[in-house]
C-alpha cells in the first residue's frame, strides 16, 4: 500500500464512502442470492431477465422501481414518528459494518470492544420497528409492532450470551483478536460446545432479523408486512427490504468471523495460507448467507408464544449453561 497521508477528517470520509458503497451493493447481491437460491430450491429459475445474464440486475431494478413510487403517509399516522422509523431501523445496520474484518488489516475500525459494539448497535433497531408499527394507524401494523418488540427483546439475550462465550474462548472483545485466536474455527474446537454456541447464535440472529421461522412480526400471510405495511416507496425499501438484506449479510459476516474463522483458512493447513484472507472471508460469508436462507425457506413460522417459550425457556438457559461449560473449558483446557 502506498504511503498516503490523510487527515483524520479525510480518513473518516473515505471510510464513510466505503461503507455507503459496500452496504448497498452487498444488500443488492444478497437480494439476488435470495431470489436465486429460493428459486432453485423450489425447482424454479428465479430472475432471468433483468440485466441479461441470469437476471443479475434484478434487485437493482427493483430498487430503481421503488424510487419511482409515490410516497404515501396515511392521514391518521403520526408523521414525525412515521418518517423517522425507517431511518432508525436502517442506520444501526450501516454501523454494524464498521467492525467487520475482511482481512487482517482491512477493517474500517478495529475497536477494542468490537463484539460489544456489534451487539449494542444491533439492538437499536427494535425501537425503529416499534415506532413504525405504532405510528402507522393500522391495526395489523400495530399487532406486528407489538410482536416484533417482544420478539426482538427476547432474542437479544441468546446472542449476547453466545457472544460472551466466544469472547471468553478468544480472550478478547476485539473482532480481529477473535479471528486471530481461532486456529481451528470455534465451530469445531472446542468440540460440541462450539456447535451448540453456533446454533444458539444462529437462532438468535434469525430472530433479530425477523427471518423465518421467527418472522411472526412480518408474517406475510397474516399481517402482510407487519409493522411496515403502510410504508411505500423508498421508505419501505430502506426500512424493510434493504435493512433486512444488509442486516442478514452483516450477521452472516459476523457469524463467519466468530465461528468460522473469519479471514483465516478453514483449517490450519499450510497450502491454504496462500489464498488471500479476503477470499476466505467471502467464501465463509457466502456460506453463512446460504445457510441462513436455507433455513428461511424450509420452515413454517413459530407462533408468537411458542417463539417466546423457545427463547426464554430453552435458548437462554441453554446459553447460560454453555457459558458455564465454556468457562470450564477455558480454565482447564
Partner 1 sequence: MVMTDQKQRLEEARKPGFGFGLLKGMAVLLKHLFKRTTTIQYPDEKQDLSPRTRGVIALKEENCTVCMLCARECPDWCIYIDSHKETLPPKREGGRQRKRNVLDRFAIDYALCMYCGICVEVCPYDALFWSREFEYAEYDIRELTHEKERLSDWMESVLPPPPLEIGADVPDEPTPAAAQTTTAAAGARPATQTSSATAARPAQAAAAPKAPTAAPTPARPKESEPGVAAERGAVAKAESPPEASAAQPAPVDQAPATTPVEEREGAPPKEVTEEAAKEAGIGDVQAATTQVPNVEVPHEAPRPVALEPVEDPEAVYQQVLDDQRRKGSSPQVAEARAKVARVKAERGIRRGPTPVEVDKPVPSAPTKAEQAGAPVEPTPSGAPKAEEPAPEQGPVAARPEEAAAAPQEAGAAHPETTEVSPSSGEGAEDPEAIYERVLAEERAKGSSEPVATARAKAARMRAMKGTKGPGS
Partner 2 sequence: MGITEQDARLPEEVVKQLAEGRLATEQMILNVGPQHPATHGVFRLLATIDGEVLVDAEPIVGYMHRGYEKLVEQRDYRQITNLVSRMDWLSGINNELPLALAIETLMELDVPPRAQWLRVILAEMNRILNHLMFFQSFSAELGAITPTFYAFREREDIQYAMEMVTGGRMHFGFFRPGGLKEDVPRGFYDQALKGVRQVIARLPDYEDLLIGNEIFKQRTINVGVLSKESAYQYGVTGPIGRGSDVDMDVRRDEPYLVYDQFDWEVQSASHGDCFDRFWVLLHEVVESAKIVEQAIEGVPSGPVLGKVPRVIQAPEGEVYIRCENPLGELGMYLVSDGDRRPYRIKIRTPSYSNVSALREILRGTLVADMIAILGSFFFVLGDVDR
User: Is position 298 an interface residue for partner 1 (rule: CB under 8 A)?
Assistant: yes
For the CB of residue 145, give the shortest distance to partner 1 in the complex, in Å: 29
Site for partner 2 in 108-167 (CB under 8 A): 139-140, 143
Backbone angles phi, psi at 150, to 5 degrees: -60, -45
Q: Using CA of residue 37, residue 43, residue 46, residue 49, what is the dihedral sign?
A: positive
Residue 197 to residue 165: CA distance in whole angstroms: 8
Binds 305, which of partner 2, partner 1, none (CB < 5 to 8 A, cut-off by type)? Answer: partner 2
User: Is position 45 an interface residue for partner 1 (rule: CB under 8 A)?
Assistant: yes
Nearer Cβ to partner 1 (40/80): 40
For residue 192, give Cα distances in angstroms to 163, 325, 326. 16, 11, 11
Nearer Cβ to partner 2 (42/105): 42
Which of these ranges, 69-77, 140-148, 243-251, 297-305, lies near partner 1 under the rule CB under 8 A?
297-305
Spacing of C-alpha 14 from chain mean position: 24
User: Is position 2 an interface residue for partner 2 (rule: CB under 8 A)?
Assistant: no
Residue 222 to residue 92: CA distance in whole angstroms: 28
Residue 90 to residue 250: CA distance in whole angstroms: 12
User: Is position 7 an interface residue for partner 2 (rule: CB under 8 A)?
Assistant: no
Q: Name the grid cell of 250.
A: 452483516
Strands (E), the chain: none
User: Is position 283 an interface residue for partner 2 (rule: CB under 8 A)?
Assistant: no
- Cell numbers 473482532: residue: 175
Binds 224, which of partner 1, partner 2, none (CB < 5 to 8 A, cut-off by type)? Answer: partner 2
For the CB of residue 192, give the shortest distance to partner 1 in the complex, in Å: 15
- Candidate list 39, 91, 111, 286; residue touching partner 1; CB under 8 A: 39
User: Is position 306 an interface residue for partner 2 (rule: CB under 8 A)?
Assistant: yes
Q: Percentage helix, strand, coil, to 5, in the chain?
A: 70, 0, 30
Nearer Cβ to partner 2 (163/225): 225
Spacing of C-alpha 27 from chain mean position: 11
Total of chain residues touching partner 2, rule CB under 8 A: 27
User: Is position 219 an interface residue for partner 2 (rule: CB under 8 A)?
Assistant: yes
* Residues binding partner 1 (CB under 8 A): 37, 39-45, 48, 294-295, 297-299
Amino acid at each position: 500500500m502506498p504511503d498516503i497521508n490523510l487527515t483524520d477528517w479525510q480518513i473518516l470520509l473515505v471510510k464513510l464512502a466505503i461503507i455507503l458503497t459496500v452496504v448497498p451493493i452487498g444488500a443488492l447481491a444478497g437480494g439476488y442470492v435470495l431470489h436465486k437460491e429460493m428459486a432453485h430450491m423450489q425447482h424454479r429459475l428465479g430472475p432471468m431477465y433483468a440485466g441479461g445474464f441470469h437476471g443479475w440486475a434484478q434487485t437493482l431494478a427493483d430498487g430503481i422501481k421503488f424510487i419511482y413510487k409515490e410516497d404515501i403517509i396515511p392521514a391518521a399516522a403520526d408523521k414525525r414518528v412515521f418518517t423517522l422509523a425507517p431511518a432508525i431501523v436502517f442506520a444501526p445496520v450501516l454501523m454494524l459494518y464498521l467492525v467487520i474484518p475482511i482481512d487482517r488489516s482491512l477493517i474500517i475500525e478495529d475497536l477494542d470492544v468490537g463484539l460489544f459494539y456489534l451487539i449494542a448497535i444491533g439492538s437499536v433497531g427494535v425501537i425503529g420497528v416499534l415506532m413504525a408499527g405504532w405510528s402507522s394507524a393500522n391495526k395489523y401494523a400495530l399487532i406486528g409492532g407489538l410482536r416484533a418488540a417482544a420478539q426482538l427483546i427476547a432474542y437479544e439475550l441468546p446472542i449476547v450470551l453466545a457472544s460472551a462465550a466466544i469472547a471468553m474462548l478468544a480472550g478478547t472483545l476485539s473482532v480481529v483478536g477473535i479471528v486471530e485466536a481461532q486456529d481451528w474455527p470455534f465451530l469445531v474446537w472446542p468440540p460440541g460446545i462450539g456447535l451448540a454456541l453456533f446454533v444458539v447464535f444462529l437462532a438468535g440472529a434469525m430472530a433479530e432479523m425477523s427471518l423465518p421461522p421467527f418472522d411472526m412480526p412480518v408474517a406475510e400471510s397474516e399481517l402482510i408486512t407487519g409493522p411496515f405495511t403502510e410504508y411505500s416507496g423508498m421508505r419501505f425499501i430502506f426500512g424493510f427490504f434493504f435493512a433486512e438484506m444488509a442486516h442478514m449479510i452483516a450477521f452472516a459476516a459476523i457469524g463467519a468471523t466468530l465461528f468460522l474463522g473469519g479471514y483465516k483458512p478453514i483449517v490450519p493447513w499450510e497450502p491454504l495460507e496462500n489464498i488471500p484472507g479476503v477470499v476466505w472471508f467471502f467464501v465463509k460469508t457466502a456460506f453463512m448467507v446460504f445457510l441462513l436462507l436455507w433455513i428461511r425457506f424450509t420452515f413454517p413460522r413459530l407462533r408468537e408464544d411458542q417463539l417466546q417459550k423457545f427463547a426464554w425457556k430453552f435458548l437462554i438457559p441453554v446459553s447460560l449453561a454453555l457459558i458455564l461449560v465454556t468457562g470450564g473449558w477455558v480454565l482447564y483446557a
